[in-house]
């Protein structure tokens, strides 16, 4: 948008007076932040309604991305950037004596997601608006985001994250669009006068689902899509006979949208979780149908106007919920309703970890959602009947929805969707060949791959302005919306001036992060050291532990020989563990304790430091990633579906140190094996071990002296204060089989780290690698990912022509 500094200053002062009756000198940061937020809203509101109007008038097919999580991060700068007014506003505020960076800090970072999956959804809505795809997010307005992590004596402690405390400037409550969601009760089918079977409910609990909409602003294109998050409320009641019963009921209902389930991948049978899933699914689909009906088209045409995406299994109830509405409320016959449903739905699988494949006990689902359960039974019955004639019984048994007293959500999503995708090539191959092989036999054409992506706007243009400026000076700014144009940077691979400039920027970012660490943790780190970064949820398969064992090996090397020639390193960790995941929490305690030991040992002359940042999330990622030299992507091959921090880090010039897992495989293809450091078991070797059962971790402990010493340190008192944790972790590796092959990959990892050490010594060579990584990162933009979803899955145009 066109906005002069003068106009902005006038608007800002006017808004401050109107809302707070203050002038600038009286106002504090909070008032200034809300004033700016409200101004941004007013600047985007016209385009928001124009966009919706355009979609309605043109009867555009619309996409609804159903996701339990949207890990947005702070929106202030992102909205300014996308409106094209970031620099103007920053400079105008400066004239008014206000520092934009200080205002940014006022905004809470809404943690409405656990990790990669939730952040992917956030990147997608940004990219969908930018790519002019008529697509909206649909999720839950959790009152409390993911817990706030504190370390107390090295242990993770969880505190509530009350992000809504001071209100959310971006949202609008849309009471007129509220819908009712039903739980419990009894249901039976009755014939109406017109001959339809309609369900009758008795004793159902009714919950009011109230939507809160936020604008999703496309990058400089006038498109504004919608993120709709639902909040659970008690429906208004005329007479409240029992006040306390009323309060109790209200609390119970409001608890549905109270907390984000704090688990990244492990499954626990929680009734509340199932309620949450049905709640936002039912609310979302009812609202879609309401909207569709305004077009006055027959329901048979729904799939021409609506695509619903099921992001992981959490919203899999979309399938029976749409069926319920088509059958019970629209009186379609089963065949037509099913045809429409399958054409509308598509599903992404985000993990092969079997404990994350959700399943619900029949008792729970049938009492909470009686009608939905009937529909699921009928879907299952028809599936087994139809496919039973075509495939052998064992395949049908393994692919049924209801099995062993449980409803399997992935099976429901697969049977009820026309498309099933994995999130990286390797992951999709593993789905087809292993994890979902039976389904691949049944529905080969449904399977496809869509490698994840990230938005270069947040992760480069905003997070790393010095690098953005350098790139723009070298190759112009076309890459902002056509990110593969970053490849033009390759022309500078032998240009020492550019490489030195890259080095200077990295150093600057490292200094900034070092200042932050000094301020917040009181720890001095050296920006000349290698900044070696592993930021992701704490999970055994991601092998933060292997990283730590390597650090210990370096530490002992220096203890034995203080003159040992190693490049100084700062190992940076950011990770939350699910509160109930004991083993992960033990690893956190161990890392913190080793950090304490190493950081305070003056005999190693600051050659090693460990920084474990508290409460890792989007805002911290934005500080760490631009300062990273090394990107640790060291999961056991086959376990990380894709990973996305790998993409953000390469885009910022970090060198990837990786196993051939998830999207690392594709990163290697794009940058070439000389610009990435690969090590460790490959996926087929891992499966071979599973097959022949020949991995015996103890022999690695017994035969590898370095490993022996490092592992002994866990249990012999070398690391003080971790007796219980040390033994538990030692046993998991040596005694109980080392599920994720940490000891098997250790030597290869150490060798790979030595290679990093030696590469880093040649500064120009290192920067050349960094440059090639930045130049090759464009393909991993979520702009391309969503365009592929649009063209190949949703069948919508990725160009709404709103300009
Ligand atoms: C995840 C995968 O673990 C991760 O590899 C992937 O990049 C993201 C996004 O596709 O999805 N699956 C999952 O349940 N979480 C992830 O981060 N939480």
Three-class SS of 90-146:
HHHHHHCCCCHHHHHHHCCCCCCCCCHHHHHHHHHHHHHHHCCCCEEEEEECCCECC
Ligand 1 proximity of 450 Cβ (cutoff 6 Å): no
What digits encode the pLDDT tens for the residues 493-503?
A: 999 999 999 99
**DSSP string across 158-212:** EE---TTTT--TTEEE-GGG-EEEEESSEEEEEE-TTS-EEEEEES-EEEEEEEE
- The answer to whether 535 and 624 have CB atoms below 8 angstroms apart is yes
**Which residue numbers are catalytic?**
350, 536-537, 542, 644, 648
Q: Measured on CA atoms in the order 492, 496, 502, 506, is the torsion positive or negative?
A: positive
Q: Structural domains in the chain?
A: 1-53+78-107 (no CATH), 59-74+109-450 (3.40.50.2000), 484-784 (3.40.50.2000)
Listed in sequence order, the residues at least 6 apart from 424 whose beta carbon sits closer than 8 Å to its beta carbon are 449, 451, 452, 641, 642, 643, 662, 663, 665, 666
Confidence band for 803, pLDDT divided at 50, 70 and 90: very low
Q: Separation of 119 CA from ligand 1 center, angstroms?
A: 9
Residue 239 DSSP class: -
The burial of 797, by beta-carbon neighbours within 10 Å (0-12 exposed, 13-18 middle, 19 or more buried), is given as: middle
Q: How far is the CA of 537 from the centre of ligand 1 (A)?
A: 10
Q: In whole angstroms, how far apart are CA 77 and each of 6, 74, 84, 155, 454?
A: 20, 8, 10, 34, 17
660-679 burial: b if 16+ Cβ within 10 Å, else e: bbbbbbbbbebbeeebbbbb
Q: In the predicted model, what is the mean pLDDT of residues 243-254?
A: 93
Please work out whether the CB of residue 659 comes within 6 Å of at least one atom of ligand 1.
no
pLDDT per residue over 528-556, tens digit each? 999 999 999 999 999 999 999 999 999 99
pLDDT (0 to 100) of residue 193: 80
ipTM surpassing 0.95: yes
Instruction: Give the C-alpha separation, 621 to 630, whole Å.
Output: 14
DSSP notation for 726-781: HHHHHIIIIIS--TT-HHHHHHHHHHHHHHHHHHHHSHHHHHHHHHHHHHH-GGGB
In short, whether 263's Cβ falls inside 6 Å of ligand 1 is no
* pLDDT of res. 800: 43
pLDDT at 202: 93
Q: Can you name the residues that pair with 138 across neighbouring β-strands?
A: 66, 228
Decide: 115 in ligand 1 pocket, CB within 6 A: yes
Please report the atom of ligand 1 found closest to the CA of residue 662.
5
Look at residue 732 in the predicted model and tell me its pLDDT. Answer: 98
Q: How many residues does the chain have?
A: 803
661 Cβ inside 6 Å of ligand 1: no
> Helices (H), strands (E): how many in the chain?
32, 23
pTM over 0.95: yes
CA nearest to 678, candidates 638, 633, 741: 633
Q: Let me know if 104 is exposed, middle or buried by CB neighbors in 10 A (0-12, 13-18, 19+).
A: middle
pLDDT digits (tens, 9 = 90+) for 664-692: 999 999 999 999 999 999 999 999 999 99
Query: Roughly how many angstroms between the first and final C-alpha of the chain, as a whole number?
Result: 11
Confidence of residue 268 (pLDDT cuts 50, 70, 90): low
pLDDT of 196 over the 90 cut = no
- 508-524 pLDDT, tens digit per residue, is 999 999 999 999 999 99
Write down the pLDDT at residue 802: 43
Question: How far, in Å, is the centroid of ligand 1 from the Cα of 442?
Answer: 26
Substitution site in 68, 310, 641 for ligand 1 pocket (most atoms within 8 Å of beta carbon): 641
Four-CA torsion 277, 279, 282, 288, nearest 10 degrees: -100
In 283-343 the beta strands, taken as DSSP E runs, fall at: 306-311
Q: Which of 388, 356, 624 is nearest to 509 (CA)?
A: 624
């Amino acid at each position: 948008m066109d906005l002069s500094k003068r106009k902005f200053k006038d608007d800002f002062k006017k808004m401050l007076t109107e809302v707070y009756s203050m002038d600038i000198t009286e106002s504090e940061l909070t008032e200034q932040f809300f004033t700016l937020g409200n101004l941004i809203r007013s600047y985007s509101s016209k385009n928001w309604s124009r966009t919706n109007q355009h979609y309605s008038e043109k009867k555009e097919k619309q996409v609804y991305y159903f996701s339990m999580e949207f890990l947005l991060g702070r929106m202030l700068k992102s909205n300014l950037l996308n409106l094209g007014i970031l620099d103007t506003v920053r400079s105008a505020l400066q004239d008014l004596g206000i520092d934009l960076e200080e205002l940014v800090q006022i905004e809470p970072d809404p943690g409405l997601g656990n990790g990669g999956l939730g952040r992917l959804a956030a990147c997608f809505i940004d990219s969908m608006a930018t790519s002019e795809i008529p697509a909206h997010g649909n999720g839950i307005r959790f009152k409390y985001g993911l817990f706030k992590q504190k370390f107390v004596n090295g242990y993770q402690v969880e505190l509530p994250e009350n992000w809504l405390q001071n209100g959310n400037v971006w949202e609008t409550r849309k009471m007129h669009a509220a819908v009712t969601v039903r739980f419990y009760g009894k249901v039976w089918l009755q014939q109406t006068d017109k001959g339809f079977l309609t369900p009758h409910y008795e004793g159902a609990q009714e919950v009011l689902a109230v939507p809160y909409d936020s604008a999703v602003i496309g990058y400089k294109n006038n498109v504004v899509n919608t993120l709709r998050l639902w909040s659970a409320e008690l429906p208004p009641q005329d007479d409240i006979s029992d006040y306390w019963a009323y309060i109790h009921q209200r609390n119970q209902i409001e608890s549905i949208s109270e907390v984000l389930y704090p688990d990244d991948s492990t499954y626990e049978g929680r009734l509340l979780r199932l309620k949450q899933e049905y709640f936002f699914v039912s609310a979302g689909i009812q609202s879609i149908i309401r909207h569709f009906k305004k077009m006055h088209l027959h329901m048979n045409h729904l799939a021409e106007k609506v695509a619903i995406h099921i992001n992981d299994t959490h919203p899999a109830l979309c399938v029976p919920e749409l069926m319920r509405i088509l059958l019970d409320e629209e009186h379609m016959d089963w065949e037509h309703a099913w045809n429409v449903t399958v054409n509308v739905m598509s599903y992404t699988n985000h993990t092969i970890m079997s404990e994350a494949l959700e399943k619900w006990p029949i008792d729970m689902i049938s009492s909470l959602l009686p009608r939905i359960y009937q529909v699921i039974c009928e879907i299952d019955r028809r599936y087994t009947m139809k496919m039973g004639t075509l495939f052998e019984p064992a395949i049908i048994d393994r692919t049924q929805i209801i099995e062993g007293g449980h409803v399997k959500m992935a099976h429901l999503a697969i049977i009820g969707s026309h498309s099933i995708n994995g999130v990286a090539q390797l992951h999709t191959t593993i789905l087809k060949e292993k994890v979902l092989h039976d389904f691949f036999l049944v529905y080969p054409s449904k399977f496809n791959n869509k490698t994840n992506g990230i938005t270069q706007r947040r992760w480069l243009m905003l997070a790393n302005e010095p690098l953005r400026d350098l790139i723009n000076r070298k190759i112009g700014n076309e890459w902002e919306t056509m990110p593969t144009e970053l490849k033009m940077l390759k022309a500078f691979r032998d240009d020492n001036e550019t490489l030195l400039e890259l080095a200077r920027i990295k150093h600057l970012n490292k200094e900034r992060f070092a200042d932050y660490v000094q301020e917040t943790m009181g720890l001095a780190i050296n920006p000349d050291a290698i900044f070696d970064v592993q930021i992701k949820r704490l999970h055994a398969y991601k092998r933060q532990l292997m990283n730590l064992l390597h650090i210990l090996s370096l530490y002992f090397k220096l203890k034995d020989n203080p003159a040992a020639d190693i490049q100084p390193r700062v190992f940076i960790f950011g990770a939350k563990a699910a509160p109930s995941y004991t083993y992960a929490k033990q690893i956190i305690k161990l890392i913190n304790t080793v950090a304490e030991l190493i950081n305070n040992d003056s005999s190693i002359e600051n050659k090693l430091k460990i920084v474990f940042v508290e409460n890792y999330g989007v805002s911290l990622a934005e500080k760490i990633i631009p300062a990273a030299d090394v990107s640790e992507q060291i999961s056991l091959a086959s376990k990380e579906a894709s990973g996305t921090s790998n993409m953000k880090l390469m885009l910022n010039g970090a060198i990837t140190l990786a196993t051939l897992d998830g999207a690392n495989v594709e990163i290697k293809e794009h940058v070439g094996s000389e610009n990435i450091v690969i090590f460790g078991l490959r996926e087929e070797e891992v499966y071979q071990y599973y097959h022949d059962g020949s991995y015996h971790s103890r022999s690695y402990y017994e035969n590898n002296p370095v490993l022996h010493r490092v592992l002994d340190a866990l249990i012999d008192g070398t690391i003080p204060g971790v007796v219980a944790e040390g033994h538990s972790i030692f046993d998991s590796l040596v005694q109980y089989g080392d599920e994720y092959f940490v000891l098997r990959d250790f030597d290869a990892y150490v060798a790979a780290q030595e290679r990093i050490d030696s590469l880093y010594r040649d500064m120009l060579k290192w920067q050349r690698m960094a440059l090639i990584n930045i130049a090759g990162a464009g393909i991993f933009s979520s702009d391309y990912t969503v365009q592929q979803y649009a063209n190949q899955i949703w069948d919508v145009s990725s160009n709404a022509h709103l300009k």
